[in-house]
Amino acid sequence: MNQEGIRLNKFLASCGIGSRRACDALIQKGGVTLNGDACTNPATRVGAEDVVRLEGKRVLPRQNTTVLFKKPRGYVCSKQDELGRATIYDLLPPKLRHLNHVGRLDRDSEGLLVLSNDGDLANRLTHPRNKVEKEYRVTLSKSPQNHDLQKLLQGVRTPEGHARAKSFRRLSPRRLSLVLETGLKRQIREMFATLGYQVDKLFRIRIGRLTDPDLPVGRWRHLEHHEIELLSLDPAE
């Protein structure tokens, strides 16, 4: 084992296994071996000559691939759905089906979604401390009251915990632009449900500084390096 190598969790992330946090959990469960010995410490260093196996299968770093996908309504963000529903991976070519979705959109939501095997990128985009902005177009079943919209900025209690919006902008009586810095499960739908509103349509249009209005729904494209950097940049900077 090379003490000058990289941490085991970072190594696994570079192999496309998942984010560093996800790799921490795999390591601590005891499914990882280093040079034939069980290893449960994510901070263990891995060098170029070391052999790492996950559940008995050797894992090696792979070239990072990151794509932008515009999710259509009616598909779940999962590689396999236990209910047999259509998944976003049904719309991707086989060469991209090893990629992990970075965050998620629920079945009835649409818009921009990043897929990547870069664990560091996934961690950067999803960890709450980084406060990566995501902007949505929201259509409600009825026009919201101004005092209710102000409550979104203060924060409301949802089944997943305290949730708040960073900002909002009215586009029409029932349509809003809403910006979040967190990603709780069904956060926008649950926030509005708490206030007595139903979300009829939800479309993510921006992640960090990156937008792509010309990408058709249901299609994907590779991201260039400078675009990947835009994903985690604050639009105000």
Residues 78 and 179 in one domain: no
Residues 178 and 163 in one domain: yes
The CATH number covering residue 31 comes to 3.10.290.10
Residues 106 and 144 in one domain: no
Query: Looking at residues 159-177, what average pLDDT do you find?
Result: 96
Is the residue at 237 inside a domain?
no
State the greatest distance between any 2 C-alpha atoms of the chain, in Å, as a whole number: 63
234/147 Cα distance (integer angstroms):
27
The number of distinct structural domains making up the chain is 3
Residues 153 and 200 in one domain: yes
Q: Are 23 and 14 in contact (CB under 8 A)?
A: no
Residues 154 and 203 in one domain: yes
Residues 144 and 86 in one domain: no
* Residues classed as catalytic: 106
Query: Of the ranges 45-54, 172-181, 209-218, which one carries the lowest mean pLDDT score?
Result: 45-54
Residue range(s) defining the domain that contains residue 16: 6-58
Nearest to 183 by CA among 195, 199, 165, 168: 165
Residues 176 and 151 in one domain: yes
Query: Looking at residues 163-178, what average pLDDT do you find?
Result: 97
Residues 118 and 140 in one domain: no
pLDDT in tens, 89-139: 999 999 999 899 999 999 999 999 999 988 889 888 998 899 999 999 999
46/7 Cα distance (integer angstroms):
6
Residue 2 pLDDT > 60: no
109/134 Cα distance (integer angstroms):
14
- Which helix or strand (DSSP H or E) is residue 185 part of? none
pLDDT band at 1 (very low <50, low <70, confident <90, very high): very low
